[in-house]
Structure 1
Amino acid sequence: MTCSKTDEAPNLPEILREKYDRLRQIITRAGDAAIGFSGGVDSTFLLKVCAEILGELGERLLAITIKSEVIPANEVNSAHDITETMGVRHIILKENVLELPGFVQNHPDRCYICKKAIFSQIKKRAELYGIRNCFDGGNIDDAADFRPGRVALNEIGIRSPLAEAGFLKSDIRVVSEALKLPTWDKPALACLASRFPYYTEITKDALKQVENAEAFLEKLGMYIFRVRHHGILARIELGEREKKILLKFDLCTKIVKHLKNLGYKYVSLDLEGYRTGSMNEVL
């Protein structure tokens, strides 16, 4: 099977066109793919390109989404909607991550424990469908952060075609916009467990607290934010736009009232603002 040029992503800068064509070649050579699909920016872009190349083969492409306590329910539903729009087979698998040995204790290897269990399950399901290649949406920027989960993926043979093709996160957004993908400007996703400082026990009730708190902020029009869980204290990180919304519409009282109703005793605003991986700063 040969990989032909595509006009699906018009008017790309030459360097992005080269990366895009390289990605298509990687997927073409693979011949099949089971994608760990979250419905975020990266995995949606990867699924789109895989669907273009492998879609004609029908049974050679599979999107697999994990449903667990650390993934907001609306994200699972959104992932399913995307696969339906693309016409890609989609399977939702349940993983009780709180039952994984060592997970709730929340040591720095938590992500390793979780990723190994999740992608081992994805790989086994792919094998049942006769699919040899398992992909995740990792990109070049992921190497700059503390990501023990990537070690687990390497150990069990999960490939990251976006990283292999040289894609940065910013590249993925640019090409996703050219492809008219609805996720091109979607905020970065991270599981709810990332809201807890290391060595703080992760419980089902606390995860629900965080999920409900963040859902409320989103309802208020927030886009870039995190609610970090410190026991009885909720520490809110906001993007620059969100800080302005907070002040313009005097939302502090509403937010404090809602989060206290969820069980928090104190609600604080982090003056440093939103930043990815802020819980890794203790390492």
Structure 2
Amino acid sequence: ALAFSGGADSTLLAYLAKEAGADVLAITYDNQIFPTGFLEFAKRRTSELGIRHEIIENNFLDVGDVVENTPQRCLVCRRLMYGAIKQRAFDEGYEIIIDGNNVTDLTHDRPGILMKYEFEIESPFIEAELETPEIHKFLDENNIEYSNSTTCLATRVKTNEIVTIDKVNRIDHCEGYVKEITGSDVVKLREEKNVATIELSDLDTILDKEKIDPIVQELKLSQYDKILLNLKAIESDDELILDDELEKGANNLTLRKRLPFGINILETDRILKNKENDHISNIETIEDIGYIKLHIDEKESRIFRDGKISIKNNKNKKDAKESLVNILPYIRRTV
């Protein structure tokens, strides 16, 4: 059974499962606060792929932690989603549940990913050590259609600001309008204290007065006090390691990466010691200082409570990436 949103990852899993002749059930969870067209797209793609499709509906605007928009919101959301998907799968006779999480997702600030472990959801792309750019490349080269609009609209509202149906509808309408005017593949509108910040995957599509003026007018009509533009484009194909994260030594490179979340070093220590892994050895946790010493592929490494990871003695960028990929699935974040 596949947790299916119609996005790149779950679409490729559905495609591959069908190609492999697997008996796959796609399950889509509709929390009532996804962008317009989300559910219709999921229905159409599963039909085109010839895959059985089930839909679970639940209005998350009736869920306190989601409405109050606490830092725990994504954990609550994913707990409800995965719990319901797992139950539906079991009810339909499916014992294996998979999702589209990939290695790149392990480096993003998405706390809901913790629920994958709690509900024992398998992630084939993590097992296969695949990254977002590789998945997008395969989809594009094989002309496999997927949706770029599969993220919950509640995530657009600043944490601790109340989420209401009026805010969700306004964000949905304005994102759709900006997307129509600009033609940008991905548009997100962030809302904080009635200020709208527009983010796009292609900034060139909006940098035109004939486009900016109607967008400002429409968003003002939607009762936003101020409209801002984020000058950093949305990047869906970000690299796992950036060049400036590699520090040159005399004969090797040291990777110094900072993850955008804290690390639960005690839980990470427990996971590391309970799993057999030929790449990892010499694990020692220094709790009072807040880091784990270990060897990854025989390289001296550190994992710090504040999210920093260091891996020494890498031959090149590819070598550093391979070692990072070998440790990421074992890291457990704090929320």
Aligned mates of 1:275, 1:46 — CA distance in 2: 22
Worse-matched range after superposition: 73-82 or 267-276: 267-276
Structure 1 residues 81, 105: closer, same or farther in 2, change over 3 A?
Answer: same
User: Secondary structure of 2:215's partner?
Assistant: helix
CA contact (8 A) 2:18 2:51 kept: yes
Match of 2:217 among 257, 262, 265: 257
State the partner residue of 1:38.
5
Shift of 1:188: 6.8
State the partner residue of 1:102.
65
Shift of 1:74: 0.4
1:232 maps onto 2:199 in alignment: no
1:270 maps onto 2:233 in alignment: no
Structure 1 residues 231, 50: closer, same or farther in 2, change over 3 A?
Answer: same
1:140 maps onto 2:103 in alignment: yes
TM-score under structure 1 normalisation? Answer: 0.78
Shift of 1:205: 1.0
Aligned mates of 2:230, 2:110 — CA distance in 1: 24
Uncovered stretches (5+) of structure 1, i.e. residues with no partner: 1-33
User: Secondary structure of 1:82's partner?
Assistant: helix
Identity of aligned residues (%): 29
1:89 maps onto 2:52 in alignment: yes
CA contact (8 A) 1:61 1:89 kept: yes
CA contact (8 A) 1:69 1:204 kept: no
User: Secondary structure of 1:134's partner?
Assistant: coil
Aligned mates of 1:229, 1:85 — CA distance in 2: 36
CA contact (8 A) 2:17 2:24 kept: yes
Uncovered stretches (5+) of structure 2, i.e. residues with no partner: 237-259, 262-334
1:128 maps onto 2:95 in alignment: no
User: Secondary structure of 1:167's partner?
Assistant: coil
1:222 maps onto 2:181 in alignment: no
User: Secondary structure of 1:227's partner?
Assistant: strand
> Equivalences for 1:1-283 in 2 at 5 Å?
34-55=1-22, 60-183=23-146, 187=148, 189-220=150-181, 221-239=183-201, 241=202, 243-248=203-208, 250-274=210-234
Shift of 1:249: 5.6
Aligned mates of 2:24, 2:49 — CA distance in 1: 12
**Aligned partner of 2:186: which letter?**
I
Deviation per CA, 1:70-106: give whole Å up to 9, x if none: 2123011111111011110111110111222312121
Aligned mates of 1:178, 1:247 — CA distance in 2: 29
**Aligned partner of 1:53: which letter?**
A
User: Secondary structure of 2:170's partner?
Assistant: helix
Runs of 4+ in 1 over 4 A off after TM superposition: none
CA contact (8 A) 2:32 2:57 kept: no
CA contact (8 A) 1:95 1:118 kept: no
Aligned mates of 1:210, 1:105 — CA distance in 2: 17
**Aligned partner of 1:102: which letter?**
D
**Which structure is higher in RCO with an 8 Å CA cutoff and minimum separation 6?**
1
TM-score under structure 2 normalisation? Answer: 0.67
Aligned mates of 1:85, 1:267 — CA distance in 2: 39
**Aligned partner of 2:188: which letter?**
R
Shift of 1:272: 3.6
CA contact (8 A) 2:187 2:200 kept: yes
Aligned mates of 2:116, 2:195 — CA distance in 1: 34
User: Secondary structure of 2:11's partner?
Assistant: helix
C-alpha RMSD of matched pairs (Å): 2.0
CA contact (8 A) 2:34 2:150 kept: no
Aligned mates of 1:69, 1:227 — CA distance in 2: 18
